[in-house]
């Protein structure tokens, strides 16, 4: 399971890592540009919940994030500011 951030060097590093993994007869799956929390969640889905359908990971992540947000934030909140820093979330 590979993911990368949005730095210019990330795609090249991912390609080199993938080539190294394949050179020893193993395989990898790329999730492309993604956040660290997403990769942690994807790893959890695969290793703890046994979900190998990676095509559903992003939707599952978004569904659970929205559900948890709605459970934590009172309905009367009219404005919320999110600081996504300069990472993938900042795009």
Are the beta carbons of 70 and 85 closer than 8 angstroms? no
Nearest in space to 30 (alpha carbons), one of 2, 58, 63, 66: 2
pTM recorded for the entire structure: 0.69
Q: Report how far residue 53's alpha carbon sits from residue 34's, in angstroms, rounded to the nearest whole number.
A: 17
**Positive or negative: CA dihedral 88, 7, 2, 56:** positive
Chunk the chain into consecutive blocks of 10 residues (it has 91) and report each block's average pLDDT, rounded to whole numbers. 91 95 94 90 88 85 90 78 65 57
Pull the structure tokens for residue 63: 């569904």
Report pLDDT for 90: 54
CA dihedral 29, 49, 43, 80 (to 10 degrees): 120
Pull the structure tokens for residue 50: 């046994």
Report domain extents, the chain.
Answer: 1-33, 35-69
HSE, side-chain direction, 13 A CA sphere, residue 14: 18
Report pLDDT for 16: 96
């Amino acid at each position: 399971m590979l993911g990368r951030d949005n730095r210019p060097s990330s795609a090249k590093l991912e390609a080199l890592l993938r080539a190294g993994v394949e050179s020893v007869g193993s395989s990898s799956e790329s999730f492309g540009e993604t956040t660290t929390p997403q990769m942690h969640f994807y790893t959890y889905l695969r290793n703890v919940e046994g979900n190998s359908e990676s095509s559903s990971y992003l939707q599952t992540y978004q569904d659970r994030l929205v559900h948890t947000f709605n459970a934590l934030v009172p309905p009367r909140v009219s404005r919320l500011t999110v600081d996504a820093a300069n990472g993938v979330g900042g795009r």
